[in-house]
Every structure is written in C-alpha cells, then in structure tokens.
Amino acid sequence: MKHIAVIGAGTMGNGIAHVFAQKGYNVRLIDISEASLKKGMATIGKNLDRMVAKEKISETDKSNTLSHISSFTQLEKGVADVDLVVEAATENIALKLEIFKQLDDVCAENTILATNTSSISITQIAAVTQRPKKVIGMHFMNPVPIMQLVEIIRGYSTSNEVTATIMQVSRDLGKTPTEVNDYPGFVANRILMPMLNEAIETLYHGVAGVVEIDTVMKLGMGHPMGPLQLADFIGLDVCLSILNVMYDGFKNPKYSPCPLLVNMVMAGKLGVKSGEGFYDYATSRKAEVVSKQFV
C-alpha cells in the first residue's frame, strides 16, 4: 500500500496528507477548491519548516515530503488506482454520504475507503456503497503531525482483514492505533464532548468565568489545555455538530448541547477559525465578556 488519496485540504486533510507523505507514501490531495489546495499545501510547507527549525527533519526530508504530494480538483482523477482513500471533508453527514457514493463508483474494487469522521456512523456511511467490508473509520487527532492516536472504528460489516491492514498502516505512520466499535461519538468524543459541554454549562450558569474554568481544569486536573480553549481550537460548530449526532443517536439529554454553545455558533463565534469564541484570537484578549453576553 503506497498510493493514498486524501479528500479535503482543510486542517485535518492537509495534516493527514503530511504524515503519509513524510513516511514515503505517494499522496493525492483532493479538494473541489483550487484555493483550498494551495492553502493546504502552504500549511504543510509551514509545518515542515517548523520541523526543520527544530532539527526534527532536514531540508532534504522536507523536499522529499512535498515531492510525494500532488493535488487534484477532480475526484475521479485523484482516486484512480489508489490503495486507500481517507475522506477528511466537513463533518456533514449528507456530504460524506454523497462522497462515498461517488468513491464507490469510481474507485478500484480493492480500494479501501476510510473516513476521518469524529462521530458519524461508519455503518451508515458504508451502507451507501457496494463494499461495506472495505469501509472503516480512521479518526486522526488534531494536529495530525503531532498527535499520536488514531481511533480505528469498525463498521458493522468492516472485515477483519481491512481492520488489520489499517491498524498496520497507522503503525507505519508512527501512530498508535486503537480499535473501537461503531457507536455515536466512538470513544474519544463520547467522553470528550460531554466534558466540553459541561464546561460551557458551568459558564452559562455563572459558576465561574472562562479563565477560571480553564485554570481549574489545567492546574487541578492536569489538562494541557482548558476545556473552553480546547473547544475554541476544535471549532464550536464542530462541537455542536458532534453533540447533535450523539443526542440523536442515544436520545439521552446528557448529550443535549448547552444553549450558550448553540447561540455562539448561530452568532458566528466559532473559536479560532472565526477569530473569536470563548477567547478573542484577533487581539489575544480573553473573550469572557463576549461569551457571557449570550447567556
């Protein structure tokens, strides 16, 4: 397995392309937007520059990595004759189902189809294809070049052979794969998102402010980043989407998104990506007052 296609040139997609290319895989990075592809390649270049500056890799390593990545705006051309496709498009179920229908039509029969979804059912995605045994979840953590874990999610029909192959590919990338079964949120987000939601509820009910909540969790619980800051980095819209998936899947009120989170997303306060969430990233000013105005 040496030929990989990655769909989506955003934060997760360019990170996944980076780690595969750095390990010598031939990577085809696919996005419908030429501008997104250029931005994604620029991000990969900047991340490699940081690694060179820290003497983790050489300039030759950087050049070799970039030489292993080619970009495409046409899906059919990008996935031709690849061994594995990793879909890393927006966390939108309708979009993912449409992409997998297309992939099933244009990919070779032996191509494994993986999705980087952090919450959407692998079984549901696989059901729109004629190859459910070859569909699997490959949930990388952000930032992909740094984070060790890859959550490997088996759908209802995913074969043992495909699971073993993807586990080994993850190890070959220098990652630690962990196999889990297909239930809403899997393991990572089933545990993480209720914690982030509870932190937002704590702010919503006026128990403490943004800085205070994050300080308690960092200093008291040993978390490297407070939950509100982490939510900003993930994207508040992504957090809301994942919570909605879990709430729809389990029908359990403990997964119901906090009204403050809902209001912030409606107001376009999405965290780092929009420049403002619980913190103000435009001025590095704490955005406690900004978030509280929606209570």
231 annotated ligand-binding residue = no
Active site residue 189: yes
The class (CATH top level) of 3-181 is alpha beta
Third-level CATH fold of 190-290: N-(1-d-carboxylethyl)-l-norvaline Dehydrogenase; domain 2 (1.10.1040)
Do the domains at 3-181 and 190-290 have one common CATH topology? no
pLDDT tens per residue across span 128-151: 999 999 999 999 999 999 999 999
Q: How many residues does the chain have?
A: 295
Residue 292 has pLDDT above 80, yes or no: no
pLDDT tens per residue across span 219-263: 999 999 999 999 999 999 999 999 999 999 999 999 999 999 999
Catalytic residue among 87, 151, 276, 288: 151
Mean pLDDT for the chain?
Answer: 94
pTM of the predicted model over 0.95: no
pLDDT tens per residue across span 169-209: 999 999 999 999 999 999 999 999 999 999 999 999 999 99
Residue spans of the domains in the chain: they are 3-181, 190-290
Tokens of 40: 């994604």
> HEC states along 83-103?
CEEEECCCCCHHHHHHHHHHH
Percent of the chain with pLDDT strictly greater than 70: 96
Supply the DSSP symbol for 218: I
Active site residue 159: no
Active site residue 160: no
Q: How confident is the model at residue 1 (pLDDT cuts 50, 70, 90)?
A: confident
Output b/e per residue, 186-204; b: 16+ Cβ within 10 A: bbbbbebbbebbebbbbbb
11 annotated ligand-binding residue = yes
- Residues 184 and 153 sit within 8 Å (Cβ to Cβ): no
Active site residue 71: no
